[in-house]
């Protein structure tokens, strides 16, 4: 689940005492959401939408995902129908992922995001790298095969003295 992000759903499962899926309980299922253990509050989506095989989806508002930890407690007004959130607790990841994608991680001081690092790794794995022994420079090309995404200057095996990330 992404933190503070619209358009997400939380799935729940309804079954009888034998574990058989219950597919006709949407109108009787309700939920409360607890953000960062501050206490449960009714979800904006009063009842979930039936999915398939006993599963139902609650639509979440952006504000309902604005927490580091979310817990969903569900209940069903129909006797003999048991409902559980799948999963019942979620640790949101939006800000963590966003921070990783925008954080400098190059030890030489050159700014590079995780997104750019992955692009370089994928280009290298795709065989788009060349080493010039005369200059000691590794050049790695991007997906188009012509744009340089990384240039490394080496003075010896494993000794990098400079890098340029495009």
| Tens-place pLDDT, residues 87-143 | 999 988 765 455 555 544 444 555 556 666 677 677 667 767 777 878 877 787 777
When comparing pLDDT for 127 and 38, which is higher? 38
| Beta-carbon contacts of residue 75 (< 8 Å; ≥ 6 apart) | 29, 30, 31, 83
Does 60 reside within a domain? yes
Does 14 reside within a domain? yes
Task: Give the count of domains, the chain.
Answer: 2
Same domain? For 73 and 129 the reply is no
When comparing pLDDT for 46 and 128, which is higher? 46
* Mean pLDDT estimate for the chain: 82
Same domain? For 89 and 12 the reply is yes
Q: What average pLDDT does the segment 30-46 reach?
A: 96
pTM for the model stands at 0.59
User: What 3-state class would DSSP assign to 27?
Assistant: helix
Q: Which residue has 């619209």 as its token pair?
A: 6
Phi, psi angle pair for 19, to nearest 5°: 90, 5
Q: Is pLDDT of 161 > 70?
A: no
Same domain? For 118 and 52 the reply is no
- pLDDT class of 146 with cuts at 50, 70, 90: confident
Same domain? For 45 and 124 the reply is no
Expressed as residue numbers, the domain containing 34 is 8-95
Q: What average pLDDT does the segment 28-47 reach?
A: 96
């Amino acid at each position: 689940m992404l933190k503070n992000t619209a358009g997400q759903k939380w799935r729940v499962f309804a079954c009888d005492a034998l574990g058989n899926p219950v597919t006709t309980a949407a109108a009787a299922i309700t939920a409360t959401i607890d953000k960062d253990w501050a206490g449960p509050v009714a979800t904006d989506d009063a009842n979930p939408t039936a999915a398939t095989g006993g599963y139902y989806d609650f639509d979440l508002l952006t504000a309902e995902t604005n927490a580091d930890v979310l817990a969903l407690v569900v209940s069903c007004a129909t006797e003999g129908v048991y409902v559980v959130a799948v999963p019942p607790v979620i640790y949101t990841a939006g800000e963590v992922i966003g921070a990783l994608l925008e954080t400098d991680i190059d030890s030489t001081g050159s700014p590079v995001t995780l997104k750019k690092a992955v692009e370089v790794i994928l280009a290298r794995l795709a065989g788009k790298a060349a080493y010039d022994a005369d200059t000691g420079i590794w050049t790695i090309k991007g997906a188009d095969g012509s744009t340089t995404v990384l240039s490394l200057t080496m003075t010896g095996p494993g000794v990098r003295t400079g890098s340029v990330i495009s």
